Amino acid sequence: MNASVVYILIFILLAPLTSVAKDMVRYNISKEFADPKQDYYIALLRLALNKSRDQYGPYQLIENSFDQTPQGRTLEILEQGKLLDVHWSMTSIQREQHLGTVYIPLLKGMMEARLFLIHKDTAASIALLNSPVQLASLTIGSGIDWPDTAIYEKNGFDVVTSVATLLPKMLEEKRFELFPRALHEPWTELAHIDNAVVEPQFAFCYPAAMYFFVNKNNTRLKERLSFGLKKAIDDGSFDKLFFSHPVTREAITKAKFEDRQVLKLLNPNLSGHTRDTLFNPRFTWQPIHQCISPH
């Protein structure tokens, strides 16, 4: 058998394998600090990949676990492109510059609305406040690498920072008075923080978005996720997941955001692209439209 025949046989044998090559999509979840919210983002990630299957082919989701890895470090790992292919996180100008950004708000803008976990011992004094402007006299707890921290500081608040995993314990110890949480976050967290309650009458409101981020060079995955999410928006499956998933469904029913007194804050780390995206009713949940202006 001559060499040319051998090459032809090898090509024939390998062709079926290459034609069904899968997109490998590695994502990070924490197992030590299990978070029910992760299930929503994974479900949405799977939805986007399924909706894009006809256009981009099969995929394989691979779960990696980096327990006790701060949010900022996880995004650094993603930027290096060796261990992760996608991560979900609140956006900032810096993150959009360093990573490939899928400009579809995963929570339909729900990240813009912030309720407060407070210690039950401070509930009575906070209840005496007459206006959300008076919240400026209280201390805030926030993650050292969260974009929110810069927002609170820019708006004149006294902010106590730490790694995210320590903040619940610090609230228990009354190291700060307000622990702002996105609309969908406090309900599952209450069970794990001693003596915490959700403050019932006030809220923050500022333009913000939760995105899928990929490595800057992974344009295929960025385009695939954008294609899949937009297709899910158009056929209604995105909204079906958003309004039926326990994490987001309970947030909508329990938060009563429309009944709260809202303090609007400026976001110094908001890109023009994200502002335009949030102002597009195709991508956002109606009650939070008050949190952003077109300019």
Domains recognised in the chain with CATH numbers = 21-110+209-258+270-278 (3.40.190.10), 111-205 (3.40.190.10)
Q: How far is CA 74 from CA 66, 71, 81, in A?
A: 8, 5, 11
Residue 42 pLDDT: 95
Residue 32 pLDDT: 62
Tokens representing residue 246 in the block: 């326990």
Residue 20 pLDDT: 56
Residue 91 burial (C-beta neighbours within 10 Å; 0-12, 13-18, 19+): buried
DSSP tag of 211:
E
Residue range 250-265, pLDDT digits in tens: 888 999 888 999 999 9
Cα 201–chain centre separation = 24
Longest dimension (CA), the chain: 91
**Banded pLDDT at 15 (limits 50, 70, 90):** very low
Residue 67 pLDDT: 62
Tokens representing residue 33 in the block: 């600090």
Residue of higher predicted confidence among 62 and 37: 62
Does the pLDDT at position 183 exceed 60? yes
Residue 221 pLDDT: 98
Q: What are the residues whose beta carbons fall under 8 Å from the beta carbon of 275, sequence distance 6 or more?
A: 207, 292
**Banded pLDDT at 68 (limits 50, 70, 90):** low
Q: What is the arithmetic mean of pLDDT over 147-158?
A: 96
Residue 260 pLDDT: 93
Residue range 202-251, pLDDT digits in tens: 999 999 999 999 999 999 999 999 999 999 999 999 999 999 999 999 88
For residues 204-233, one letter each, b for 16 or more C-beta atoms within 10 angstroms of the residue's C-beta and e for the rest, the string is bbbbbbbbbbbbeebeebbbbbbbbbbbbb
DSSP tag of 102:
E
Lowest mean pLDDT among 10-19, 110-119, 121-130, 174-183: 10-19
Per the listing, tokens 């299957």 go with 53
Residue 31 pLDDT: 67
What SS3 class is residue 179?
strand
CA distance 170 to 162: 9
Per the listing, tokens 């609230």 go with 171
Among 165, 161, 142, residue whose Cα is nearest residue 70: 165
Residue range 268-291, pLDDT digits in tens: 999 999 999 998 989 998 777 777
Does the pLDDT at position 17 exceed 70? no
Mean pLDDT, rounded, of the chain: 89
Residue 33 pLDDT: 58
Residue 295 pLDDT: 47
CA distance 187 to 90: 19
Cα dihedral 261, 255, 279, 141, rounded to 10, equals 70
CA distance 249 to 239: 11
CA distance 279 to 276: 5
Length of the chain, in residues: 295
Does the pLDDT at position 1 exceed 60? no
